[in-house]
Structures are given as structure tokens and as C-alpha cells.
Amino acid sequence: MGRLDNKVAIITGAGSGFGRATSILFAKEGAKVVVADWIAKGGEETVRMIKEDGGEAIFIKIDVSKTEDVRKMIKTTIDTYGKLDILHNNAGVVGQLAPLHQITEEQWNRVISINLTGVWLGMKYAIPEMVKKGGGTIINTASVGGIIRVPNTPTDYHVSKAGVIMLTKVAAVEFANRNIRVNCICPSHSLTPLVENAVRGNKEAINEFNQRAPMGRMATPEEIAQAALFLASEESSSFITGEALVVDGGYTVAGRGKQVVIR
């Protein structure tokens, strides 16, 4: 028996990185997974991987910052599976590194709309369906960048992830009496496509990222997925809500290292 047997889970940003690893893990644990992503190729590949492993999944193309896309995602889930048990708001972008006064309004709005507004929209349209069925679980992907200043990390990213943490806490209190648990995960550096694209094969940068945490390495996407499974499982976390679960190898406790210069 899996920990998520008979559960229906939506995971956004599921075409790669944390989202893909979590989708595959949730399916292995018995969940029917709605794989949501802006890039169809990645999302469809995640679905293929789940099905090849004996799991059940469908793909929905979505821009999490667009109201109609989010409403369609929720409706398709209900139409297909009849309910929604778990929402994992995972989709996000990093943005472009620049001094605060040089960030354009377009850049700022893009990061905030995807990373923060997208989480709010997901909850806004998922919660009524969870209330109807008597409860549910929401997991939001925040970041250690929502807690501390991380070198070489854009201002708008920091602000968006801090907003996700507070949005998580507010929602947790507001819906605790409706049997809806709301938590978030705060990962540190992990070798996902976002990080790989940023360092572009720079071995010095990768080594520096590895050395920032006392454990001496970055997380794997699978380790972050295990944290999501912990928060999704009633067996593991039935009395946990409003939590910002830090998964960082000790970085926020005793972060070390120099600025990473990516050329």
C-alpha cells in the first residue's frame, strides 16, 4: 500500500526538476497525478515516465499566472478524477540577476506573477473543491531565498519566495478548521535544469554551490520530492500546517562560501 493510494494530486512545474521528481514519486505512492507545465514536451515526458512505471497521470499545459489556465486545470482534474486531494504549487522562475534599481517592471511582474500570484491562483481555485470533499493538502514551493539573502540571486525572486512563505502561513490558519493543511518547502541549491542553465557547465560555480552547505553538496530533486511526500502524507504529517520546511543541507544555519561569479 502506498502512502497516497486513491489520492488525486496536481503538481505544477512538473515537466522537469523538483516537479518531475515529485510527480514520479507521488505516482509510485499510489496517487493519480495531474502533470501541469508550460512546456508540453517536458510535461508529456513526465507522464510517459509515470505510465511506464505503472502509474496513472495526465498532462495539462498551463501558465500558472493566467486565471483561465488555472481554472481549466482544476476543472479538468475534477472532470477526469472526480476530486482533488493534493495541490503542489511548484512552478517557478528565477528571473535575471541585476541591481534592484535596474530591474525592469516587465521583469519584476513576470517573476512575481509566476512565483507568487501563481501560487495564490492555484489555492484560490483548488480550495473550494477541497472544501466540498471535506479537506485536502496544499504544498507550495518556496526557497531558502524567502528566508535569507542568497548570493547571486535576483531581488524579485527573493521577494516572491518570501511572499509564498507568508501566503502559506495565512492560508494555513484561514483553512485549518476546514481540514485543509497548507505547508511550503524551502529548498536550497539543487542541480535542477534551472541551476544547470544558470551555471552553463561552469565547474567552478558548481563546486562553489556544492560547498555552500555544511553537508558539502547540493540537494537532488529526489530529496526535495521526499519532503513533498512527507507533507502530502496524512500518515506522516497530519498535524503539520503553516510550516516552512527547510531542506538545505544546513545552509541557512551555517551557510558558507564566496560569491559565485558566473561568466
Distance, in Å, from the CA atom of 158 to the CA atom of 177, rounded to the nearest integer, reads 31
- Whether 55 and 33 have beta carbons less than 8 Å apart is answered as yes
- Interval 253-259 mean pLDDT: 62
- Interval 134-148 mean pLDDT: 97
Domains and CATH numbers, the chain: 8-254 (3.40.50.720)
Residues whose CB falls within 8 Å of the CB of residue 83, separated by 6 or more in sequence, listed in order = 8, 129, 133
pLDDT in tens, 88-139: 999 999 988 899 999 999 999 999 999 999 999 999 999 999 999 999 999 9
3-state secondary structure 22-33: HHHHHHHCCCEE
Query: What pLDDT, on a 0 to 100 scale, did the predictor assign at position 197?
Result: 65
pTM of the complete model: 0.92
pLDDT in tens, 194-240: 666 666 666 776 777 777 788 888 899 999 999 999 999 999 999 99
pLDDT at residue 179 tops 60: yes
**Radius of gyration from C-alpha coordinates of the chain:** 18
Q: Which residues are catalytic?
A: 157
Query: What pLDDT, on a 0 to 100 scale, did the predictor assign at position 257?
Result: 52
pLDDT at residue 263 tops 60: no
pLDDT in tens, 12-42: 999 999 999 999 999 999 999 999 999 999 9
Calculate the CA dihedral of residues 251, 198, 141, 252 and round it to 10 degrees.
Answer: 10
Query: What pLDDT, on a 0 to 100 scale, did the predictor assign at position 9?
Result: 99
Please spell the DSSP secondary structure of 120-161, one letter per residue: HHHHHHHHHHHHHHT-EEEEEE--GGGTS--TT--HHHHHHH
Query: What pLDDT, on a 0 to 100 scale, did the predictor assign at position 208?
Result: 73
Query: What pLDDT, on a 0 to 100 scale, did the predictor assign at position 136?
Result: 98
Nearest in space to 172 (alpha carbons), one of 111, 242, 109, 231 = 242
Task: Using pLDDT thresholds of 50, 70 and 90, give the confidence band for residue 2.
Answer: confident
Query: What pLDDT, on a 0 to 100 scale, did the predictor assign at position 207?
Result: 74
Q: In the block, which residue shows the cell 486565471?
A: 67
